Structure 1
Amino acid sequence: MDSIEIVLAMLLAVVASAYLVRVLPVSIPLPLVQIGLGALIAAYTGHGVRMDPALFFLLFLPPLLFLDGWRIPKSGLFRDKAVILELALGLVIFTVVGAGFLIHWLIPAMPLPVAFALAAIISPTDPVAVSSIASRVPIPTRLMHILEGESLLNDASGLVCFRFAVAAALTGAFSITSASLTFVWLAAGGIGTGVLATLLVTSAQRWLSRRFGEPAGSPILVNLLLPFGAYLAAEHLHASGILAAVAAGVTMSYVELSGQAMANTRIQRSAVWDTVQFALNGVMFVLLGEQLPDIMEGARVSLGQSGHLNPWWLVLYAFAISFGLMVLRFAWVWTTLRITLYRKTRRGETAPKPPVRLLLAMSLAGVRGAITLAGVMTLPLTLSNGAPFPARDLTIFLASAVILISLVAASVGLPRLLGGMSFPAEPAEQQEEDLARREAASAAIAAVEQAQVALMQKDDECDMYPEAAGRVIALYQHRLDTTGVDNGDDARRFRKLDEAERALRLAALQAERRTVFRLARNEHISDEISRKLVREIDLVEARHKG
């Protein structure tokens, strides 16, 4: 099968997986379905896709990490920055040391530097895998923000540890000073490059739009290319391209607050990015499934490297390492939580203990994914003296097995751990939304009154403007009445009334759309008119659903 046909087959597998998860009688997480379809493609073609790790990093990770950084709630990211840094930096180093010695103890035939390299590459959690699992699991909002922030930031620390472990295996030497300085440059250089890239590109685009106008589709294409530019610039400076893509996305979210982009551009861009995210997420897991033939072949070669002949030893190693990662993660989370509670108690603050089930869920949520797979593939084939790199196939097999086990464990375990748990609502979010609605409605009413006066001055037939303004103002006055009450029962009643009104509006919009389609099918209106009307209805419906 040619490369183009394989790519088309993978995209079709992504589309098919979205329907299969709805059709299958049992609830199977979407990533596992996509891995299974990838394995079927590999079985049909007779081999997996020959994946270049550097190309894989460049094509898939920058846009996905950019989008995650763009859309992650910044209030949660900065509110829990201490916890996120503890997980993204402290937990990674703790995991590398603990899991490294565990792996070397389990498999004495694997040299200690190689064991540390394996521990380092399986230490970062994967934001794409975390998001895919979380979409089907009722994870508390704050916990989800912490997991997303951790997975976005722990890649640099894990990859730096991996790089130095591989260097130690190649040369037999390791310098903590050199490792620390390299980590600082990777992090600082990557973040700075991402921030600078977004600011420069958006400023240039804004200047060009003001001076020459905005070509259709150009802003969206520039936005799609931005994460690749940030990633490549950082890699050229020997900084972290991963952190550059994340920083570019976070910066983009602040640039958006200026409101410079046109409404139509925002709507189209959101649709394009949703499609890109769905396609790339799916293709990554399909690719993982297509690697299964090579992984199985690696498992056969790994038997001799592990010092055993029974293949069940490999299964035992994979589950032991995965379980060890969960134990290390639980120990770190429990210890840091106890320290945090102790500090709050010393300050006289009340700090309720989270349930143990939530801590266990935090341990299971450490899902590994594409970063681990692509990183482990970069292991060199030979040492500096020309000898084969020790236990390379075994390392790749174990890393791949840990990815699959973590996906299955999170997919199966998280719904059972979190099922039936009631999580307290976060009133701050509702208060912020009410404040925004009140302020927006007040500003809208003032703008309507000003526009009414201006239009009446320009038009001789001005008797209809007060009536039109009154109808528009009534909508915003209802919003003020809905969000401005303090009584709990009244607030719930108004919100329920608002939901009922929205449901009726959506039903009316659906009837409108059906009628427009029927008129177009019967050739009572042109295709151009039908597309225009349907787009207007879609935009209104999107606003009400949002």
Structure 2
Amino acid sequence: METVSIVLVLLLAVVVSAAIARMLPVAVPAPLVQIALGAVIGLGVKLKVELDPELFLLLFLPPLLFLDGWRIPKDELLKDLSTVAELALGLVLLTVVGVGFFIHWMIPAMPLAVAFALAAVVSPTDPIAVSAIASRVSIPKRMMHILEGESLLNDASGLVCLRFAIAAALTGTFSPSAAALSFLWVAAGGIVVGVVVTLAVTRAKAWVSNRFGEETGSQILISLLIPFGSYLLAEHLHCSGILAAVAAGVTMSFAEISRQALATTRMRRNSVWDTIQFAANGIIFVLLGEQLPDIIAHAGETVRLSGHVEPWWLIVYVLAITLSLALLRFLWVWASFRLTLFRRRNDGTPPRKIAKRLLAAMSFAGVRGAITLAGVLTLPLTLNDGTPFPARDLAIFLAAGVIIVSLLAASIALPLLLHGLTMPSEPSKQVEEDRARVAAAKAAIREVERVQHALADGRGDADVYASAGTRIMDTYRERIERRTKRGEAAAQARRDGRIERDLRLAALGAERDEIFRIARDREIGSETAKKLIREIDLAEARHRV
């Protein structure tokens, strides 16, 4: 009963904190409000949440990482893949090593392996927090795509590094050669498991649906189980469950193109996943606030072991770590952009000057969020011999402090830096969208003609079918004409009567098939395909009511 009460209180706190964040006259990120409300709950309510690190990791990380991999724009990610990889892999390794040694030098009471673990959990960034901060300022789309791609990859790389750091802390030994071999198995095995599980599940689901029909609730439940299944199987095989969840999400987006679901299923599933993302992210920050008073009390004891007594040393440590992260990120972003310009100069592309505001905005956009907090809360409670894990509370406090300070700094600096900031212009997607709409309309006309003749064959009311089919096909012909001229979309024809409804559903199905086909052939990008499929799903849902 107490567990149920705790869950309900946490969910209520997430809802209330989101409402408070919208009511405030200034733009305050919702995570900060959630942390504050969680602290109020921890101090004023007799509510104590005992966090099991392994259970916490299993409940929160797989679905969040799976959803990130599922929804990230793949074409935009591939466009800036080199920049994303430099930020997500090179910067993470530099952060783990550089900041890890810095933390150990600054806080001798924290063992080197624990310092590396702390550096690993503060290396991932959170684009959701950045988009919340920049909600009142227009953020360049290409910059947001880079941040999303970086976050997806550095979540995985940072948490894999955390795994090795924890193993070193538990065993007291670390072999670079053994770690390199283990990393290959952990990374490759996790990716393979995620891909195989997702493909196997989606194929089996498609086989059953094609033969026995589709039930929306079951389809949604299956999508919820895929990240957990991938994670647990990978961990059972001693691979990375984190990478398995990410790989499962990325594979899911490609599997969706080949194996369709009903429009109702896609719409309801999107709503369910939006709710899960909102609730999971919110609960993580509320839990941080609830745990903060105890974390501060225990962290003070560790600080005294390092020769300091005053509690303000904790603030000094947080600021020092945050500044070191910002400095490393600024230098790496500058070097990455310079390398990108150098490559383009060799390709014959005219060089562009790097805007200082762009460098500063990319640096401040390295906000730490839910993944950092979820990762640090998974630190073991004890070592293998049963003794308490060294400096665990201090590590959690420092990670929480970095999250808060980075959110505050970004909420102040980003709106100023993003105002009027422009990035290199991108080609318009209107031509691509028009081409896809025309192709879908032609496929719809062919399908209406086929179904019209099939339904009217041998019946006395052929004129009714012909009239209904003509009205629908005229709508699509008008769309083709207007889209060819890049004009406004054609007004939808009137939808009345059973015959017209059947023909429209057939046409919409043909449209969807055509969009999936040209998306598989990479004639259009994933974002354009997603937009058009959603429009078709909404139209089909209206006709099926």
C-alpha change, 1:132 and 1:243, in structure 2 (3 Å) is farther
Cα distance in 2 between the residues matched to 1:110 and 1:9: 35
Give the secondary structure class of the aligned counterpart of 1:257.
helix
Give the structure 1 partner of residue 525 of structure 2.
Answer: none
Cα distance in 2 between the residues matched to 1:342 and 1:543: 52
Give the structure 1 partner of residue 346 of structure 2.
Answer: 346
Give the secondary structure class of the aligned counterpart of 2:462.
coil
Q: Which moved more, 1:306-315 or 1:418-427?
A: 418-427
Cα distance in 1 between the residues matched to 2:51 and 2:129: 19
Give the structure 1 partner of residue 256 of structure 2.
Answer: 256
Give the structure 2 partner of residue 234 of structure 1.
Answer: 234
Cα distance in 1 between the residues matched to 2:222 and 2:58: 17
1:412-427 equivalent positions in 2, closer than 5 A: 412-423=412-423, 426-427=426-427
Asked if 1:404 corresponds to 2:404, the answer is yes
Residues 505-533 of structure 1: CA distance to partner in whole angstroms, max 9, x if unpaired? 9xxxxxxxxxxxxxxxxxxxxxxxxxxxx
Cα distance in 2 between the residues matched to 1:393 and 1:125: 22
Specify every segment of 5 or more residues in structure 1 that has no aligned partner in the other structure, as ranges.
486-490, 506-537
- CA drift of 1:11 comes to 1.0
Residues 369-411 of structure 1: CA distance to partner in whole angstroms, max 9, x if unpaired? 2332233334455666776654333222211211211222223
Cα distance in 2 between the residues matched to 1:285 and 1:109: 27
Cα distance in 1 between the residues matched to 2:141 and 2:278: 22
Give the alignment's Cα RMSD to 1 decimal. Answer: 2.9
Contact 1:62–1:228, Cα closer than 8 Å, also in 2 = yes
Cα distance in 2 between the residues matched to 1:50 and 1:434: 55
Give the structure 2 partner of residue 87 of structure 1.
Answer: 87
Give the secondary structure class of the aligned counterpart of 2:246.
helix
Residues 54-101 of structure 1: CA distance to partner in whole angstroms, max 9, x if unpaired? 111111111121111111111122222222221221111111222123
C-alpha change, 1:170 and 1:225, in structure 2 (3 Å) is closer
C-alpha change, 1:472 and 1:212, in structure 2 (3 Å) is closer
C-alpha change, 1:78 and 1:100, in structure 2 (3 Å) is same
Contact 2:76–2:145, Cα closer than 8 Å, also in 1 = yes
C-alpha change, 1:422 and 1:81, in structure 2 (3 Å) is closer
Contact 1:187–1:240, Cα closer than 8 Å, also in 2 = yes
Specify every segment of 5 or more residues in structure 2 that has no aligned partner in the other structure, as ranges.
495-536
Give the secondary structure class of the aligned counterpart of 1:310.
coil
- CA drift of 1:539 comes to 4.2
Give the structure 2 partner of residue 393 of structure 1.
Answer: 393
Cα distance in 2 between the residues matched to 1:362 and 1:127: 11
Q: Which AA in structure 1 matches 2:155?
A: D
Asked if 1:278 corresponds to 2:274, the answer is no
Give the structure 2 partner of residue 120 of structure 1.
Answer: 120
Contact 2:206–2:259, Cα closer than 8 Å, also in 1 = no
Q: TM-score, normalised by structure 1?
A: 0.84
Residues 216-272 of structure 1: CA distance to partner in whole angstroms, max 9, x if unpaired? 521111111111101111111111111111111111111111243122222222222
Cα distance in 2 between the residues matched to 1:239 and 1:225: 19
Cα distance in 1 between the residues matched to 2:335 and 2:118: 25
- CA drift of 1:419 comes to 1.7
Cα distance in 2 between the residues matched to 1:207 and 1:346: 50
C-alpha change, 1:21 and 1:400, in structure 2 (3 Å) is closer
Give the secondary structure class of the aligned counterpart of 1:6.
helix
C-alpha change, 1:161 and 1:260, in structure 2 (3 Å) is closer
Give the structure 2 partner of residue 508 of structure 1.
Answer: none
Aligned residues: 501
Residues 186-241 of structure 1: CA distance to partner in whole angstroms, max 9, x if unpaired? 21111100000011111222223334433452111111111110111111111111
Q: Which AA in structure 2 matches 1:399?
A: A
- CA drift of 1:36 comes to 2.0
Give the structure 1 partner of residue 433 of structure 2.
Answer: 433
Cα distance in 2 between the residues matched to 1:288 and 1:84: 29
Contact 2:438–2:483, Cα closer than 8 Å, also in 1 = yes
* Aligned sequence identity (%): 61
C-alpha change, 1:456 and 1:156, in structure 2 (3 Å) is closer
Cα distance in 2 between the residues matched to 1:186 and 1:351: 40
Contact 1:306–1:394, Cα closer than 8 Å, also in 2 = no
Cα distance in 1 between the residues matched to 2:317 and 2:405: 12
Cα distance in 2 between the residues matched to 1:424 and 1:121: 32
Give the structure 1 partner of residue 175 of structure 2.
Answer: 175
Give the secondary structure class of the aligned counterpart of 2:36.
helix
Q: TM-score, normalised by structure 2?
A: 0.84
C-alpha change, 1:245 and 1:387, in structure 2 (3 Å) is closer
